[in-house]
Each structure stands twice: as C-alpha cells, then as structure tokens.
Amino acid sequence: MHTVKAIYPGTFDPLTNGHLDLIARGAKIVDHLVVAILRNSEKGTPLFTVPEREEMITEAVAGFKNVSVMTFDGLLVDFARQQGAKAVLRGIRAISDYEYEFQMAMMNRKLDPELETLFMMPAEKYTYVSSRLIKGVFQLGGDVTALVPPMVVERLKAKVPARD
C-alpha cells in the first residue's frame, strides 16, 4: 500500500478559517498534507513575513498528526517532486477562482503529468473569505474574528495600527 502525499500551496497572508477548513478536510483524504507557503509571491508586499506565517500555520495545525508546514519558492511541480507528493490541493471559492486555478492546473500537468490537482470547495460560510479581503477589512477597522483563527486576530492587532 502506498501513501498519498499532497501539497496545499499558498501565501496564507494571513491564514483564514477558509484555509483551515480545507486543511482539515484535505487531511482526511490524503495520508500526509504539506501546507506549503510560497516565499516570493507576485502578490506584492506581504503583511506578515514568511517566518510569521509559518509560525501561525504551525500553531493552527498542531492538532493534525498528518499535516506539516514548509516554505518553498520556484515551481510548485519541482517542490512537489522533491517532497514525493502525488497531488496538489487547491480551494475554489467561486467561478472567478476557477479560470485561474484551471490554467495553473493545466500548466502543472504539462510540467509534470504525474502530479494531480484536487479542487475542493470551502464550507459555504467561507466562500467569500480571502486573505486580501481580511487584510482590507481589518485595516479599515472591521471585525474579522469569525473569519480567522484567534491567534491571527492578535497578530493583526499587533501588526496594523488601530484606527480612530
């Protein structure tokens, strides 16, 4: 019997309850899930450093015996190959995510035909949650406590100056 290892890549800036929902559900499907934080993203200047994100995710997934946290840069297919992973886990919140995710999955398949992409929908209550939206709402003084783990709320409060 062979074990199935999957990579759940992303910037996780910050980690959301939607990410945790996918991690929990993905961990039930595969033998080992690696949450892989992309080090140099094209998404601009991150709010949290890579070590901060790694620390938050490691704390959040501590209860999962088959989930680990790593960082990577470069091509996802190369990282997956180095890790011996057979699949990539990706979340699709809405149709708007699908086109981008489909293109990425097709390119990954072209680069490594052995690597499968598993698409999962988040729980309905998280379908609109994105890290970008969390940062924007928080920076404008909105309450995001139901959308991110408590330790992320504390880190956001420490990172973002309070609004008057």
- 100 is an annotated ligand-binding site residue: no
Cα–Cα distance between 56 and 51 in angstroms, integer?
9
Reply yes or no on whether 41 is catalytic. Answer: no
Cα–Cα distance between 144 and 45 in angstroms, integer?
21
Reply yes or no on whether 28 is catalytic. Answer: no
- 95 is an annotated ligand-binding site residue: no
> What is the DSSP track for 52-99?
HHHHHHHHHTTT-TTEEEEEE-S-HHHHHHHHT--EEEEE--SHHHHH
Reply yes or no on whether 2 is catalytic. Answer: no
- 92 is an annotated ligand-binding site residue: yes
- 25 is an annotated ligand-binding site residue: no
In 3D space, the residue among 47, 119, 49, 39 whose CA is nearest the CA of residue 79 turns out to be: 39
Set 25, 32, 93, 159: catalytic member: 93
- 76 is an annotated ligand-binding site residue: yes
Q: Which two tokens stand for residue 75?
A: 């091509």
- 68 is an annotated ligand-binding site residue: no
* Beta partners for residue 116, in sequence order: 87
Set 5, 53, 86, 131: catalytic member: 131
Set 19, 86, 135, 155: catalytic member: 19
**What residues are designated binding site?**
11-12, 19, 43, 76, 90-93, 101, 126-132
**What residues are designated binding site for substrate?**
11, 43, 76, 90
Q: Which residues are catalytic?
A: 19, 43, 93, 131
**What residues are designated binding site for ATP?**
11-12, 19, 91-93, 101, 126-132
